[in-house]
Amino acid sequence: MPPTCRTPATALLRWLTLLALALPLPSWSADDLAWTRVRKAVFGERPLLEDPSVLSLDAPERAEDASMVPVALRVGPRGTVLRTLWLVVDDNPSPLAARFTLHDAVVGSIETRIRVERYTPVRAVGETGDGRLFMATRFVRAAGGCSAPAGPGGDDDALGRMSLRRFGTASGGRAETELRIRHPNHSGLEIELDSRGYIAADYVRTVTVRQDGQPLLDAVLDISISRNPYLRFGVAAGAQTLDAQVRDSRGRDFRARWPSDEPRPP
């Protein structure tokens, strides 16, 4: 067999290929195409600042369940007040997972659970009253959360049922509160196990919370939010009543009210 003939260009290409294979892969796509599109559509060319004392994001580096990934948008305890928060999951089919409008600084940090379809950056963006934007980013390793097969159907009679749990008072007269909503939150990408067909999208779209009759928190949600949506936020420790109104993507409305002396669930 004659010896192999290699031109300098061929040898260089082979060397570059081996070098590329030896280098570590970047945490996420270098061009961040999905985020570039979301940023342009929602925030334009406005600068995004990074300051953990104003806004940070908690999320697991590797999620145990891609359909229920806990995330927390942490608002700094002092100083800059954020009026609007966005939650973005770059590489999900619908990247803009949620927008929260905070009518009172007592709301503070917000926790929820999201679906993650593939390895992706997750971002929290906050806007101050004077229009400045702050951003925090975490990379989450999870896959299949938006398209996982749907389990057995829930109880239709429980659709839209809400429960509220309150915790002890924190500094500044702020009480942590959990709001849970019974809803399948179908993404439109799930496959029904029996029929093997897609389940039509059906998810909680808006949540409005009022404290003693005054606006406290508005949320606009999308398919990236997990089944049976969960929100944790702050309320004034001395609040007498909380009212919640929920509307889903099919136009169904659900309402609930809790007096301050309502017993907590076991």
Cα(147)–Cα(127) distance, integer angstroms: 32
Task: Tokens for 153, please give them.
Answer: 């159907």
Strands of the sheet containing 120-128, edge to edge, are 48-49, 133-140, 120-128, 82-89, 96-102, 214-221, 204-211, 241-248, 253-259
The answer to whether the predicted template modeling score (pTM) of the entire model surpasses 0.75 is: yes
**Strand 214-221 to 204-211 pairing:** antiparallel
Residue 99 scores a pLDDT above 70: yes
Mean pLDDT value of segment 22-46 = 72
32: phi > 0 → left, psi -120 to 50 → alpha, else beta; which? left
Residue 121 scores a pLDDT above 90: yes
Give whichever of 26-35, 108-117, 146-155 has the largest mean pLDDT: 108-117
Confidence band (pLDDT; 50, 70, 90) for 252?
very high
Closest of 35, 89, 71 to residue 223, by C-alpha: 89
Residue 255 scores a pLDDT above 90: yes
What's the pLDDT tens digit per position in 211-238?
Answer: 999 999 999 999 999 999 999 999 998 8
Domains and CATH numbers, the chain: 27-259 (2.60.40.2470)
What's the pLDDT tens digit per position in 180-220?
Answer: 999 999 999 988 877 778 899 999 999 999 999 999 999 99
Residue 9 scores a pLDDT above 50: no
